[in-house]
Structure 1
Amino acid sequence: MAAIKPLVMDPDRPAWEQQPGERDEAWDQFRTYRDLGRARRSLPEAAKALGLSYGHTKTLASARRWVQRATAYYRWLDEIAEAEWVEARKKAMADDAKLLRIVIGAAAQRLATVDPAKLTVTEATRLMDLGLRHRRALFGNPTDVIAITGPQGDALTVQLQDFEQLPEEQRAVKLKELAASAARRAHALAEADEESDDA
């Protein structure tokens, strides 16, 4: 049997594609090895699939750089999958942002009708915590927390304790201010979203 001539790779052509001067039979043998997949790909499995001896298959693989070419091929597939995942994640984040705008707008409208005398500290805490957690998760790093604490606890607790001490009329004013602020932000976000959709 004649010696197998080493394959000369074209630097301008992807390694997993048929190379200049590579006969169709040799190309088909490489593709059989390559397409066994990550889990099954091995020279013994390729030898079985090709109906060749292991020794001859090993010689072919070495001369024609099967391992190097298959590795480059699967690296290329990984890059494609990564790019698709990044795009899918960006779309999911944009969809989440739109949904958040809708929820914030609805919550702001509902908040304007809340009777402050019936709002407990626990309910107010839950509402604020839920909104802030979702906002941080969507627009910032949820592990980056900057807070000013006071002698009576964290900033949120101090604010809620102060809120609870206000007369009912002042609590109503504070809640309306909060609702108006939330409505303004929701409106600004909606306008920004419409502008990005028009672009």
Structure 2
Amino acid sequence: MTGTTTTLQAATRQMWERQEGESAKAWNAFRLYRDMEPTERSIAKIAAKLGYSAPVLCERWSMRNNWVARALAYDEYTDLQARNRRERERLAASDRRIQIAKNMQLVGGAAIQDLGKKIQDALRSGKAIPKISLKDATAIINAGVQIERLESGESTANLAVEGTIRIEDVMKRERELMDIIKEAIRAEADPETTRRIIGYIESRCAAQRD
């Protein structure tokens, strides 16, 4: 059983780990060689570090135990580990940004709903409709949407080829935002109040475009 276990361990052992039959001194020398910066690796440097007057013994170990190939395999392994770590960090950062973007949209949506309720209350009580700007709410929603689309790999472009803003894009965005507001109001208001509120919003938007 012990012999089988030893054979299995040898079969699964990585090249840069201590190999079967490799002496303690040879393994220590290779470990020093392996852990050097790839551009700085030198058998002569290892020999000097170990206090040998000549690199003959280290050269023998290197040839017998395949130091160069083992060190290269270790370099590839550590590079893969580093790339995987960077990818995990990148994905985690992307997830955080997407969550922030969604929170921004929630904040903007809540502000729009609050505006709709204030307008409803004003109309029902016969008071003057409050002049509340939608600028901040729509700006938050726009920013949140753009960040989420960016993190999802979708286009966020709203510019023409030469970098000037296209009027049709601006109008399309206004219509989309108006639809969001209308739906928020329809969810809570009666038909007559809904008609009056939407008429007011449309007149405000038309005035702002003019």
Distance 1:109 1:94, change over 3 A: same
Q: Which amino acid aligns with 1:13?
A: R
Distance 1:172 1:17, change over 3 A: closer
Equivalent residues of 2:15, 2:73 under 8 A apart: yes
| Offset of residue 64 of structure 1 | 1.9
Matches within 5 A, 1:132-171: 132-142=145-155, 153=166, 155-159=168-172
Equivalent residues of 1:15, 1:69 under 8 A apart: yes
Indicate the structure (1 or 2) with the bigger Cα radius of gyration.
2
Identity level (%): 23
With normalisation by structure 1, the TM-score equals: 0.59
With normalisation by structure 2, the TM-score equals: 0.57
Which residue of 2 is the match for residue 21 of structure 1?
A: 21
Which residue of 2 is the match for residue 96 of structure 1?
A: 97
| Offset of residue 39 of structure 1 | 4.8
Residues matched between the structures, number: 156
Which residue of 2 is the match for residue 193 of structure 1?
A: none
Higher RCO (CA-CA < 8 Å; seq separation 6+) = 1
Matches within 5 A, 1:180-199: none
Distance 1:13 1:80, change over 3 A: same
**Counterparts of 1:61 and 1:44 in 2: how far apart (Å)?**
11
Which residue of 2 is the match for residue 84 of structure 1?
A: 85
Runs of 4+ in 1 over 6 A off after TM superposition: 114-117
| Offset of residue 96 of structure 1 | 2.5
Distance 1:49 1:179, change over 3 A: farther
| Offset of residue 16 of structure 1 | 0.8
Which residue of 2 is the match for residue 75 of structure 1?
A: 76
Which residue of 2 is the match for residue 176 of structure 1?
A: 181
Q: Root-mean-square deviation (CA), in Å?
A: 3.7
Distance 1:60 1:86, change over 3 A: same
